[in-house]
Amino acid sequence: MPVIIPSKILLTSSIFGVTASAIFAFSQTIVEGMISVKKACSSRASEKESKSNSLPLDVSLSIKEGDQKAGMVHVMEKHVSKGEYLEFSKFTSDDKAEVIRLILEGWQMTSKKLLSDENGKQKWAIDMDRKIGYGKDKKPATKLIIVVRESDNYLITAYPRC
């Protein structure tokens, strides 16, 4: 894998007595280490994946702001505890970054179960093995439901469920 070293680094390095070949060797070591980590992670992921009948880990989720009907605007307005819609299930966190992290964590899990696949939408259930919010009935919820548009995995909604 070629490593490109910007000319500013080379100029700075000559001032401090570091040779370009030393910088290249150091850069190459870092790149090789990153490749090794990526291979190790993907081999562990494929081992887990072979034990499951769900989507592969490399299927990305498209999370956009959206509006009141779909996307993060919908999730944040209807499925966080300070949202005005009391009849919906709620995440325990009101922090948008935390909710996004939780959704992405769930999407990456290989234990997703496809609940429905109709009208161009897929509804997935993920057991998060911990309390992530409350269901409509106000009981603690450990499952995450993620609904996506099938064609491009655009997030329509996500919410906790008992």
- pLDDT tens-digit profile of 16-33? 455 545 545 544 545 454
Q: Which domain holds residue 156?
A: 72-161
- Whether 56 is in a domain gets the answer no
The verdict on 76 and 118 lying in the same domain is yes
Q: Are 133 and 90 in contact (CB under 8 A)?
A: yes
Which pTM does this prediction carry?
A: 0.62
Task: Work out the burial of residue 153: count CB atoms within 10 Å of its CB; fewer than 13 is exposed, 13-18 middle, 19 or more buried.
Answer: middle
Dump pLDDT digits (tens) for 76-91.
999 998 777 888 999 9
Q: Are 123 and 149 in contact (CB under 8 A)?
A: no
Is residue 19 located within the same domain as residue 90? Answer: no
Do 77 and 149 sit in the same domain of this protein? Answer: yes
- Let me know if residue 60 belongs to a domain: no
- 31-88 pLDDT, tens digit each: 454 454 445 445 444 444 433 334 433 468 888 888 778 889 999 999 998 777 888 9
Residues 81 and 157 placed together within one structural domain of the fold: yes
